[in-house]
């Protein structure tokens, strides 16, 4: 273990007053209040006890955290991925392929899009009776001409989106907007 007393006794490069002798680090510590001495002592002891083995894990965690937040801030959706994602939501009907693409998107860090693709795949696997109920509810909302039902239509759009039916949700929102304009 290195001797810290010689390191503390070295002079600091602080600029002294004109003609005044430089104070060593030990002299500066002697002039500190007791609280400062305790904190300095604890810091030196921690550095001596822990030493270099602690630096590597801290550096790795710091670098990993920085990379995670940089990637998160940039986002995973490039314009090309966005186009592919939107095309899959509109056109891809095979639940197996939707789930495979969801896994790919998740691997690339696009968790929200992966969740949406899995929801879309689950829609395709729903029992026929459930599908028919949803279609009937959708048609009833689209056929409504009462502007007071706009909040209900928008709530239904939110529900459809949570289920993965983003196209139906978008249609319901558009229809609610036209009802609002007509009112």
What digits encode the pLDDT tens for the residues 6-18?
Answer: 444 444 445 555 5
Q: Which residues pair with 24 in a beta bridge?
A: 11
Pairwise CA distance, residues 72 & 41, whole Å: 40
Q: What is the number of structural domains in the chain?
A: 3
CA 173/CA 157 separation, integer angstroms = 6
- Is 141 inside a domain boundary? yes
Does 80 share its domain with 44?
no
Asked if the structure places residue 16 within a domain, the reply is: no
Residues 120 and 83 in one domain: yes
Domain assignment present for residue 162? The answer is yes
124-146 pLDDT, tens digit each: 888 999 999 999 999 999 998 88
Same domain, 69 and 80: no
Residue 70 and residue 87 in one domain = no
Look over the chain and give the mean of its residue pLDDT values, rounded to a whole number.
Answer: 78
What's the full length of the chain, in residues? 183
pTM of the model: 0.53
Residues 85, 116: one domain?
Answer: yes
pLDDT in tens, 90-122: 888 899 999 999 999 999 889 989 999 999 999
Backbone angles phi, psi at 31, to 5 degrees: -80, -10
At residue 172, the pLDDT reads 93
Domain boundary pick from 74, 104, 137: 74
Instruction: Give every CB contact of residue 34 below 8 A, 6+ residues apart in sequence.
Output: none
Give the structural domain span for 58: 34-74
| Alpha-carbon distance values, 146 to 21, 157, 169, 179 (Å) | 89, 16, 19, 8
- pLDDT tens digits for range 142-181: 998 888 999 999 999 999 988 888 888 999 999 999 988 8
pLDDT tens digit sequence for 36-65? 667 667 766 665 566 656 555 655 655 566
Locate 131 and state its tokens: 């599908």
């Amino acid at each position: 273990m290195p001797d810290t007393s010689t390191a503390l006794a070295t002079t600091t490069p602080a600029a002294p007053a004109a003609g005044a002798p430089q104070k060593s680090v030990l002299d500066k510590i002697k002039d500190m209040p007791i609280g400062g001495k305790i904190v300095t002592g604890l810091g030196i002891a921690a550095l001596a006890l822990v030493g270099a083995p602690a630096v590597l894990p801290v550096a790795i965690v710091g670098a990993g955290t920085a990379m995670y937040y940089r990637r998160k801030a940039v986002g995973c959706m490039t314009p090309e991925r966005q186009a592919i994602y939107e095309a899959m939501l509109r056109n891809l009907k095979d639940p197996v392929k939707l789930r495979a693409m969801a896994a790919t998107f998740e691997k690339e860090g696009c968790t929200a899009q992966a969740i949406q693709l899995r929801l879309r795949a689950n829609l395709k696997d729903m029992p026929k009776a459930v599908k028919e109920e949803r279609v009937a509810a959708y048609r009833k909302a689209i056929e409504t001409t009462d502007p007071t039902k706009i909040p209900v239509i928008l709530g239904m759009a939110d529900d459809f989106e949570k289920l993965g039916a983003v196209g139906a949700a978008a249609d319901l929102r558009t229809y609610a907007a036209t009802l609002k304009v007509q009112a």
